[in-house]
Chain A
Amino acid sequence: MKDSLYLAWRYLRHHRAKTLLLVLSLSVFLGLPLVMRAMSRATQQSLLARAEATPLLLGKKGSSLDLVVEALYFQLKGAEPITEADVDAIHATGLALGIPIRTGLMARGFPLVGTSLDYFPFRRLRIAEGRGLAMIGDCILGAEAAKTLELGPGDTLLTSPSTLFDLAGVYPLKLQVVGVLEPTYGPDDKAVFVDVKTAWVAEGLGHGHQDLALAGPDVVLKRNEGTVTANAKLVQYNEITESNVDSFHFHGDPSGYPVSAAIVVPHDEKAGVLLRGRFVDAPTRQLVRPSQVVDSLNKQIFRFERVLQIVVWTVGLATAVMFVLVMVLSWRLRAEELRTMTRLGCSRWKAAQIMGSEIALMVGASVLIAGLFGIVMAQYGETWLQNLILRGS
């Protein structure tokens, strides 16, 4: 057997290009269906797990999938917002806890998520480094965001401008990184968490500037009773610090400010049923069960996966036929070699063993490559596929 393997190895090594092509084709044939299936299952389970951990979700009436994708996975879909008053109303029912979720802005490529302190114990998020949110302007980084941005407590992080070329638009806000979360291997790892008020400031709904009472005449255009009008020389703060935090304020009633959605955590099952009943006929709001929405998404994925598997198996079959054809043609081309073997006294069994060893080596290498591919995909594929599905949904 050792000799057969040796001869097979030398033959395959000599015909590197052909061998490589066959091995790669076989790897795809062997690996793709398994990897697709495993990834799809893992993704479905992962999506469902997060959805099932979120009892109810309140949002503007419209696509429930967009709402879930935005509030649970922080993928920017631009669902119509509700208001802080809706979150307060949930609290006021005494039936549930309302956790606001405000998404829409980014910070160096990671979604900025405005929420309340209740979010962290609700998701069982633990601080790995630093501390929790204490004042507006603070931010906590998910594990992957911290690792990618190479930031930790004590560092600062600028929000990304929403309109790069609009000089009159909202300027980036410099956030103080006060903590880093332990990894959860979910969307929370790739988020930058701030208090919802900080998110509003970052959006330009709140702001801080120098005290107008102390401002000189070169800044103040006019003073009326209770109203001071300043010109562009007024210093606007782009960072919230202990010394200027008191100058930050909101104009108007913050209860009318936007939140993308609210996670609703009923105190018990009955409370959940009651709340859902209240929103059945709500004209502009919807209260959805994320698990149902994701389940329906998973069914779509499953259907898509079945179609994809048929395609993959068809391609696989073609690959297998090609492999057999190449091997048969190769042996026909090697008829002289086989004849020499026979004339020298090699048995048919030995000749078959040598040819079999060539196939075994190629299949072995293909299984190895498919296995490595599977390991890599198991490591990164789920996230990749999740992003693909959520962004494409």
Chain B
Amino acid sequence: MLGYIRQPVISLRDVGFEYAKGGFSLDVPELTVPSGARAAAIGPSGSGKTTLLNLISGIERPRSGEVSTAGVRVDRLSPAARRSFRITTIGFVFQEFLLLEYLDVLDNILYPYRLHPELRLDASVRSRARRLASDLGLASLLNRRPSELSQGERQRIAIARALVTAPKLILADEPTGSLDPATKKQALDLLFEQCDARSTTLLMVTHDHGLLEQFAQIVDVEALGPTEA
């Protein structure tokens, strides 16, 4: 692991988590991801990769320990504050894209702005969204529906949606899992390019060990702590 002098965007210390129903727990003694870094979370299925993302984003709350994201102790926030923090600070890219069929491409990109009052949708945001769409090769597709587009194009919309709020951190949960190799490379190149251009920290869950060379930091979730209660 490289030595970083930058302020960490993600910092977990002595974190203990288990689901209320039991059956799974995750311990993270220490994890830091510095600002602007490109990190990959790896591990077999069920090792807790998605749980780790949920803890970092505040979707889940740890039983013990400290979770600090973008300088905010998310473990101390109320559920409402965590949601507010999440939508304003973090961008998500999901494996299944999770786009809305009843919205066109532009509205899908701007979707986070429709969900939270702190995000104000004005002309400058629209302009940024169009620029982003253009950067991701979606300029001519803005009025189309997701079902009319290819898998690669849909993933690019999901990336644009994650970036449109100018987040400090992008959490990507196997974003290329459902793409063919050529499309996968194209989508990842675009995601890395956009994150680098904005100095946005990226933490990406992946099973593809062939991609790991492109990441500055690799987090082996299985090595962090027990996965079976």
A interface, CB within 8 angstroms of B: 3-4, 6-7, 10-11, 13-15, 336-337, 340-347, 350
Q: Which of B27-52 contact A (CB under 8 A)?
A: none
CA distance A347 to B103 in the complex (A): 20
CB distance from A66 to the nearest CB of B (A): 60
B83:A11 contact, CB within 8 angstroms: no
Q: Which of B206-229 contact A (CB under 8 A)?
A: none
Residues of chain B contacted by A4 (CB below 8 angstroms):
114
Residues of chain B contacted by A11 (CB below 8 angstroms):
102
CA distance A343 to B115 in the complex (A): 11
Residues of chain A contacted by B90 (CB below 8 angstroms):
345
Q: Which residue of B lies closest to A6 (CB)?
A: B114
- Is the C-beta of B183 less than 8 angstroms from some C-beta in chain A? no
Given contacts A343-B59, A346-B87, 17 further A-B contacts (CB under 8 A): A3-B114, A3-B115, A4-B114, A6-B114, A7-B103, A10-B102, A10-B107, A11-B102, A14-B102, A340-B98, A342-B59, A344-B111, A345-B90, A345-B115, A346-B115, A347-B83, A350-B115
Please name 9 pairs of A and B residues whose Cβ atoms are closer than 8 Å in the assembled complex, sorted by A.
A337-B98, A344-B92, A344-B115, A345-B83, A345-B90, A346-B116, A347-B83, A347-B84, A350-B116
A343:B116 contact, CB within 8 angstroms: no
CB distance from A341 to the nearest CB of B (A): 6
Residues of chain B contacted by A345 (CB below 8 angstroms):
83-88, 90, 112, 115-116
CB distance from A299 to the nearest CB of B (A): 53
- Classify the secondary structure of B's interface with A: helix
Q: Which residue of A lies closest to B107 (CB)?
A: A10
Residues of chain A contacted by B115 (CB below 8 angstroms):
3, 341, 344-346, 350
CA distance A10 to B100 in the complex (A): 10
CA distance A336 to B96 in the complex (A): 10
Residues of chain A contacted by B103 (CB below 8 angstroms):
7, 10
- Classify the secondary structure of A's interface with B: helix
Q: Which of B88-136 contact A (CB under 8 A)?
A: 88, 90, 92, 94, 98, 100-103, 107, 111-116, 121
Counting from the closest, the 3 A-B pairs by CB-CB distance are A345-B87, A14-B102, A345-B86
